[in-house]
Amino acid sequence: MKDIQKVNKRGFFLLIFFLFLTTYATSKTFKKVNYQDLSILGSQLFTIEDIVNNSSLNFPTPLIFIKTTFTEKQLKKNLSLENVSVFRQIFPFGLKILIKTRTPVAFGEKIFKGVKITGFIDEEGFFINEKYSDKENLKNLSSKVIGWKENFRQTLSKILNFQKDNDVEFITITFSPNGFLILEEKNLKTILLGFNPKLIGNQLQIVNDIKNQITENNILGIIETIDLTDPNDPKIKVFKP
């Protein structure tokens, strides 16, 4: 009988404890988050004002009503982030934002509403706003992208990754407003690639092959332009003194 009473008392205290925790957690989820409850981890580039101005967050707001997934999508797009996670936290109370920035591999320019905007490009072809870029390794950048647009991103990524893995160095990568692509290689000078992004893999391999052949024959200095708009019929224009 005494053992049964002990079990009943233990169960009663556990029930009270559980109810206390439930009440505490519920009260915290409905508690309003304010600016001082926001913490940013993973980068020191961003301020609370940057987070608020580039998302739909509006303080004070009950913790439970914050749309974490939607906020993540907004911040990733507006702040040029590689990844971002937003966590609602009961203890310690607040909103935690974990940020992973993109790494610049080239300088970049784009036109937005008629205004030229400068920034950087990562290896996936994403544009990084200059204000929100990690400038630690900028001295190692040698390429510049002109005329960036979202629909050029995959082509650009292929070019930048090909450059990383092969013996070519593209000084400028230029997209005209209508999408015509021109590369400026350190030794081969101007390379015309044209409009068709489906050809880019074949075209880049031809560029690499031409550079290797010309380097072996020591005739780099006489090249003016290489036309690879039709990769099945490459045209090389040489300088004639």
Mean pLDDT over each residue of the chain, to the nearest integer: 87
Q: Are residues 57 and 158 in the same domain?
A: no
pLDDT band for position 77 (50/70/90)?
A: very high
Q: What is the mean pLDDT of residues 129-143?
A: 85
Are 86 and 38 in a shared domain?
A: yes
Q: Is the pLDDT of residue 87 over 90?
A: yes
Residue 107: per-residue pLDDT: 96
Report the domain count for the chain.
2
Look at residue 18 and tell me if it is in a domain. no
Confidence (pTM): 0.83
The CATH number covering residue 90 comes to 3.10.20.310
Could you tell me the CATH number of the domain that includes residue 184?
A: 3.40.50
Res. 81 pLDDT band, cuts 50 70 90 = very high
Residues 123 and 201 grouped into a single domain: yes
Region 87-111: mean pLDDT is 93
Among 184, 50, 39, CA closest to 129: 50
Helix (H) or strand (E) holding 77: helix 68-78
Judge if 81 and 115 occupy the same domain: no
Residue 181 identity: L
Q: What is the pLDDT of residue 222?
A: 75
List residues bridging with 223 in a β-sheet: 238
Which of the pair, 204 or 14, is modelled with greater confidence? 204
Q: Are residues 112 and 224 in the same domain?
A: yes
Domain C-terminal end among 101, 124, 143? 101
Instruction: Quickly state the pLDDT bin for 220 (edges 50, 70, 90).
Output: low
- Give the domain range for residue 189: 106-238
Could you tell me the pLDDT band of residue 179, with boundaries at 50, 70 and 90?
A: very high
59 and 75 in a single domain? The answer is yes
Please give the pLDDT value at position 67.
Answer: 93
CB 117 within 8 A of CB 129: yes
Among the candidates 80, 101, 122, a domain finishes at 101
Per DSSP, what are the bridge partners of residue 128?
120
Q: pLDDT class for 72, splitting at 50, 70, 90?
A: very high
Supply the pLDDT for residue 109. 97
Name the percent of the chain lying above pLDDT 90: 67
- Co-location of 118 and 72 in the same domain: no
Residue 211 and residue 111 share a domain: yes
Average pLDDT over residues 101-112: 95
